[in-house]
Amino acid sequence: VKGQLPFFTGSVRWVPKLGIGYTTFTETIVQTDLATNVTTSENSISGIYAVAGFQMIPCSWLVIDIDYSRTVSGSGSNTSALAATDPTVVKYDAASLARIRAGAIFRLSKHFDLGAQFIQRSIGFTASGTASTESQTQILGMLGLEW
């Protein structure tokens, strides 16, 4: 659920946004050693998250969007297994997921848009007093067609 309340400063339109939701994130890691043993590890985090950000529209052909989200109550686990063995499951004492996203969309014509987006996600978890954090960065491109 997200709320937005647009306002103007001069000719620039601002759209602040605040929201809350539920997320599930799963990350699977597969490793093979020199003896060709395959180990699979899966981190899973879920929980309620909050999001805050804004959209800025300085002119009719440009939209800039930035937001940040983070779990406010998260839980998770890690499941790992060597091929052909029973998996080991570790429940996290604490787990969190955070994301920052920034992007822009350029209107090339009435029917075509071109955009790019930067996303960085990080997961954090604590198990048996040991804390760990992993992050992932993506840069995405977009070509839009509207009719």
Residue ranges for the chain with pLDDT beneath 70: 83-84
- pTM equals 0.80
Instruction: Give yes or no for a contact between 125 and 134, defined as CB atoms under 8 angstroms apart.
Output: no
Pairwise CA distance, residues 16 & 35, whole Å: 54
Q: What are the residues facing 139 on neighbouring strands?
A: 118
pLDDT at 84: 63
pLDDT at 46: 93
Pairwise CA distance, residues 88 & 103, whole Å: 40
pLDDT at 12: 96
Indicate the residue type of 89: V
pLDDT at 130: 84
Pairwise CA distance, residues 126 & 121, whole Å: 17
